Amino acid sequence: MKTKLLLTILTAFLLSPFASAEGMDSDPHVAKAVELRGEAVAAYDAGEYDKAAELARAAKAELALARSGSPLPASYTVRLIPGDRDSLSKIAGYPFVYGKREEWVRLYGANKDRLKHPDDADLILPGEVLLIPSIAGEQRKGEWSPEAKYPSLD
């Protein structure tokens, strides 16, 4: 865990060249990424490793936004995929959502009141629209589209 965390934080350190690249210093995504990187380092130094990892992932996502110009989606419509049904854990694992299947709990908490069967987290239905809350301050906007190219949070 600590090795993966350290690699994630080191990835966030790679932001430094982008912050000084021509035209990038005024990009709000780069500014947010640099801010999140600082918070990740402070959390790591304080021994708050899970928080540091979340902040580093958010910094990485902001940097990807600076490169792509596309915000992460703020909502996702559950699809009927023959043989490979959508589930909260599968959706949470998509790189444009959280890139971590175990974050399904966050999706469930944010959408419990919107689901047709709110007492059964294993039962989500095609057509239900799930809100995707920010995991660590990353910007999200609009509905997920299969044609769009999104940055990855994983």
Final residue of a structural domain among 52, 68, 84? 68
Mean predicted lDDT score pLDDT of the chain: 81
Give CA–CA dist 48/73, Å, rounded: 28
Is the full-model pTM beyond 0.85?
no
Percent of the chain's residues with pLDDT above 70:
78
| Residue 37 CB neighbour total at 10 angstroms | 25
Same domain assignment for residues 109 and 41:
no
Instruction: Write down the pLDDT at residue 6.
Output: 55
Same domain assignment for residues 28 and 58:
yes
Same domain assignment for residues 96 and 33:
no
Same domain assignment for residues 82 and 147:
yes
The total number of structural domains in the chain stands at 2
Instruction: Write down the pLDDT at residue 19.
Output: 42
Residue 73 neighbours by CB under 8 Å, 6+ apart: 96, 97, 132, 140, 141, 142, 143, 144, 145, 148, 150
Instruction: Write down the pLDDT at residue 17.
Output: 46
Over residues 82-92, mean pLDDT: 92
- Indicate if the pLDDT at residue 52 is higher than 70: yes
- Indicate if the pLDDT at residue 151 is higher than 70: yes
Q: Which residue has the higher pLDDT, 69 or 130?
A: 130
Report the amino acid identity of residue 132. Answer: I
Instruction: Write down the pLDDT at residue 10.
Output: 54
* Residue 97 burial by Cβ neighbours in a 10 Å radius (0-12, 13-18, 19+): buried
* Span 5-29, pLDDT tens digits: 554 555 555 544 444 444 445 677 7
Instruction: Write down the pLDDT at residue 24.
Output: 46
* Span 105-123, pLDDT tens digits: 999 999 999 999 999 988 9
Final residue of a structural domain among 18, 40, 68? 68
Q: What dihedral angle (degrees, nearest 10) is formed by the CA atoms of 6, 9, 11, 16? A: -140
